[in-house]
Amino acid sequence: MEAKNLITVLGWEERFIAGFDKILDSEELDSIILIIFNDYAGMSKMDIHKTDVEDKAKKKNIPLETIELNYNNSIDNWKTLNTFFKEREITDVLANLTTIPRETIWALLFFLKKNNTEVKYIYFKPIEYSKGWLTKNHKEPRLLFKHSGIFDLDKELLLIVLTGFDETRLIQLVEYYEPQKLIILNQDGSEFENSKRNKSLINLNTELVTEVQKIDSYLVDDTTKVLDSCIENNSKYNIILASQGPKTSSLSSYNAYLNSNKKIGLSYVPARDFSPSYSTGINEKEISGNLFF
| Domains, the chain | 5-129+277-292 (3.40.50.11700), 135-274 (3.40.50)
Which string of b and e fits 88-99 if b means at least 16 CB within 10 Å?
eebebbbbbbbb
Lowest-pLDDT range of 43-47, 99-103, 107-111, 151-155: 43-47
Return d(Cα 23, Cα 88) in angstroms, integer: 23
**Residue percentage of the chain with pLDDT more than 70:** 92
Average pLDDT over residues 259-271: 94
Provide the mean pLDDT of the chain. 90
pTM above 0.85, yes or no: yes
Return d(Cα 191, Cα 65) in angstroms, integer: 36
Please count the CA atoms within 13 angstroms of the CA of 84 that sit on its side-chain side: 21
The strand pair at 156-162 and 181-187 is best described as: parallel
pLDDT at 126 over 60: yes
pLDDT tens profile 153-205: 999 999 999 987 677 788 889 999 999 999 999 887 545 445 554 554 545 65
Return d(Cα 15, Cα 45) in angstroms, integer: 12
Average pLDDT over residues 242-257: 95
Average pLDDT over residues 104-110: 98
Q: Which residues contact 227 (CB under 8 A, 6 or more apart)?
A: 160, 185, 241, 252, 253, 255, 256
